[in-house]
Amino acid sequence: MRKRPALSLYVLLLPCILLAGCSSGGSDDFAGGSAADSAMNFSERAALAAKLDARLARQSNELGLRLLGKLREQNGGEGNLTVSPYSISAALALAYNGSGGETAEELGELLGYAPGELEQLNAGNKALLPLMNDAGPGVQLELAHSVWVENGIKLHKKYLEAAKTSYGAQVRTTDLSAEKSVTEVNQWVEDHTADKIDRMLEQPPGGNTVALLVNALYFKGAWQEKFPVERSEPADFHTGNNTAAEVMMMKQTGTFAYAENEDWQAVRLPYGEGQMEMLVILPSEGSSVDEVLQGGLPAGDPFAERFGTVGLPRFTAEYGVDLKEAVQALGVKTPFDPVTADFTALADVDTPIFIGSIIHKTFIEVNESGTEAAASTLVAMDGGAAPTADLPFEPTGRLSSLSRTHRLGYGCSSGPLGSRCRRNS
């Protein structure tokens, strides 16, 4: 890749993390998974991977790109942004299973699966689970889902079956308005992210919350070819706002899967046996991260083996955001509306159910030995009475009615047949 520092950097860690911008940091204390940790051998994993729905990863990555673009707009292109497309997609898929009508249509369009294709989406996620949780030598990957239900609320049997069967979700009942719910949810996320994300909730969701749909993802992968520590040295890293920060730049020379066009250069850096990889994209001098995001990921398979040098910052980054505004900016409105949202397939309650928030948190560390990353997404399903439409006023007393209605241009009088009003001339 080019010797000049990146104008900005965009990294896709399949299937975990999207990154734009970075900060220096990290340690060299790193170890990946071992063959003893794997129940499947390489050929078995390859055979299972060949049967996966490629559309699932493609749609998840495209959603991640679109959200990353909206988040960059919201913060003016400043700071570190890291999002996990699969974590977000999987958590929203749990919400999608409880939706109907226009709500389902909007969520389906967002996830790339129409309401009639919901079973295909669920089947794809179900097939992915064993591969995600048994990634093979050199890679540790753990995926977990949970559904936290308010005491006294019963989820529909069909929804429970989909959550448990297709997503391996644990279903737990608790008091979501109590402080203990914060402790319980945070501990669950911490346990499933190797302690990298420990404050998913800051306060109880509240008495109006019907359920929390939570995803947790942890990744630790050793580079197939490590970066030589002795080649790492301080260098300027240029961010999207044309400022430079000094970072520790790692370098290695060899043969890589490489692609380029007039807007970017890209290289794949494999982990373990090559079952997963990081995709690094460097915008050209005449391009930018935003233009690369708008163009999407490289189409087809334009990569070919090329000899060259890769420079990558050693960095650690953490990020947290409520994705509600970014998702709404993508045209998804109905699921967040207490009046029109339809989540009747989730549970029978006295008030409408809608999405109140989509909390997303990530952690990533990249060093000479490999990558460690974690992500969690929490979708809060809230319940609340739809606001009543304003009804025509009626006079409740002769004096007050007379004084008020005259100001409005009406006159009222009372008689044995009730109150009568006429417009004043």
Going residue by residue through the chain, which has 425 residues, state the pLDDT in tens, using 9 for 90 and above.
Answer: 433 333 233 333 333 333 333 333 434 455 555 444 557 777 777 777 777 788 888 899 889 889 988 998 888 766 778 899 999 999 999 999 999 999 999 999 999 999 999 999 999 999 888 877 777 788 898 999 999 999 999 999 999 999 999 999 999 999 999 999 999 999 999 999 999 999 999 999 988 999 999 999 999 999 999 999 999 999 888 766 667 778 899 999 999 999 988 888 889 999 988 878 888 888 877 777 777 767 666 666 688 999 999 999 999 999 999 999 999 999 999 999 999 999 999 998 988 999 999 999 999 999 999 999 999 999 999 997 544 444 454 554 543 333 332 223 333 333 333 333 333 33
Distance from C-alpha of 376 to C-alpha of 99, rounded to nearest angstrom: 22
Q: What is the pLDDT of residue 385?
A: 58
HEC readout, the chain: CCCCCCCCCEEEECCCEEEECCCECCCCCCCCCCHHHCCCCHHHHHHHHHCCCHHHHHHHHHHHHHHHHHHHHHCCCCCCEEECHHHHHHHHHHHHCCCCHHHHHHHHHHHCCCHHHHHHHHHHHHHHHHHHCCCCCCEEEEEEEEEEEECCCCECHHHHHHHHHHHCCEEEEECCCCHHHHHHHHHHHHHCCCCCCCCCCCCCCCCCEEEEEEEEEEEEEEECCCCCHHHCEEEEEECCCCCEEEEEEEEEEEEEEEEECCCEEEEEEEECCCCEEEEEEEECCCCCHHHHHHHCCCCCCCCEEEEEEEEEEEEEEEEEEECHHHHHHCCCCHHHCCCCCCCCCCECCCCCEEEEEEEEEEEEEECCCEEEEEEEEEEEEEECCCCCCCCCCCCCCHHHHHHHHHHCCEEEEEECCEEEEEECC
- Which bin fits 203, alpha (ψ -120 to 50), beta or left (φ > 0)? beta
Distance CA 124, CA 353 (A): 27
Q: For residue 304, what are the β-bridge partners?
A: 258
State residue 246's pLDDT score. Answer: 84
Distance between CA atoms of residues 329 and 15, nearest Å: 24
138 phi/psi in degrees, rounded to 5: 85, -5
Q: Say if pTM beats, i.e. exceeds, 0.75.
A: yes
Q: Are residues 44 and 275 in contact, defined by beta-carbon separation less than 8 angstroms?
A: no
* Domains observed in the chain: 10-223+315-383 (3.30.497.10), 392-425 (no CATH)
Q: What is the rounded CA–CA span in Å between residue 22 and residue 230? A: 22
Q: How many CB atoms lie within 10 A of CB 41?
A: 12
Q: Which residues 6+ apart lie within 8 Å of 353 measured at CB?
A: 98, 210, 341, 343, 344, 346, 347, 381, 382, 383
pLDDT for 3: 33
Close Cβ partners of 298 (under 8 Å, ≥ 6 residues apart):
259, 266
Q: Hey, what are 195's tokens? A: 């302690």
Rounded-to-integer distance, Cα 163 and Cα 170, Å:
8
Provide the 10 A C-beta neighbour count for residue 420.
Answer: 10
* Residue 82: per-residue pLDDT: 87
Question: How crowded is residue 11: how many other Cβ atoms within 10 Å of its Cβ?
Answer: 23
What pLDDT is attached to residue 300?
62
